[in-house]
Structure 1
């Protein structure tokens, strides 16, 4: 079973990625805005009336954003969806 994920607000993401397994990342601070940006499109679906066998299923796209950063240990991925939204205008 995977270890539990820590939950924190998007405003703390830049400081949270500076730590790896409780220790400062090797190679100095990571500039999140300079990391390579990737996107992933997923879908959230809902059955209109689940009690009816032929009920329509409706789906909506959900765009998610990730950054691939590097430290001395190599590359690591960070989901930045909420952070990207809060940093759109600088």
Structure 2
């Protein structure tokens, strides 16, 4: 079983990534906005009548955003969907969007 996920405000994400397994990350402070920006599209689908064969299925795209950061132990991924969608997010430093 996976451990429970910590819940915190989106504004706390830059501070939260400074810690891994309760210990401060080595190699200095991680600048989340400087990490590589990646994206993925998933789909949220609804089967109108699941008990019937050939029922209509409707799907909607869900865009998810991630940052690939690095500390002294190597690279790690952080989902940043809510952080990227906050009002006036900082633009990526390398000019890329995915």
Question: 1:52 aligns to what SS in structure 2?
Answer: coil
1:62 corresponds to which residue?
A: 62
Deviations 1:28-74 (A, max 9, x none): 11000000010011000001122433220000000000000001111
Question: 2:85 aligns to what SS in structure 1?
Answer: helix
What CA distance in whole angstroms lies between the structure 2 residues aligned with 1:23 and 1:37? 25
Shift in CA distance, 26/74, structure 1 to aligned 2, threshold 3 Å: same
| Runs of 4+ with >3 A deviation | 87-90
Matches within 5 A, 1:41-60: 41-60=41-60
CA deviation after TM superposition for structure 1 residue 19, in Å: 0.6
Give me the TM-score of the superposition, normalised by structure 1: 0.91
What CA distance in whole angstroms lies between the structure 2 residues aligned with 1:49 and 1:88? 41
Matches within 5 A, 1:5-84: 5-84=5-84
What CA distance in whole angstroms lies between the structure 2 residues aligned with 1:27 and 1:13? 18
Shift in CA distance, 89/19, structure 1 to aligned 2, threshold 3 Å: closer
What CA distance in whole angstroms lies between the structure 2 residues aligned with 1:89 and 1:39? 16
In structure 1, list runs of 5 or more residues that go unmatched. none
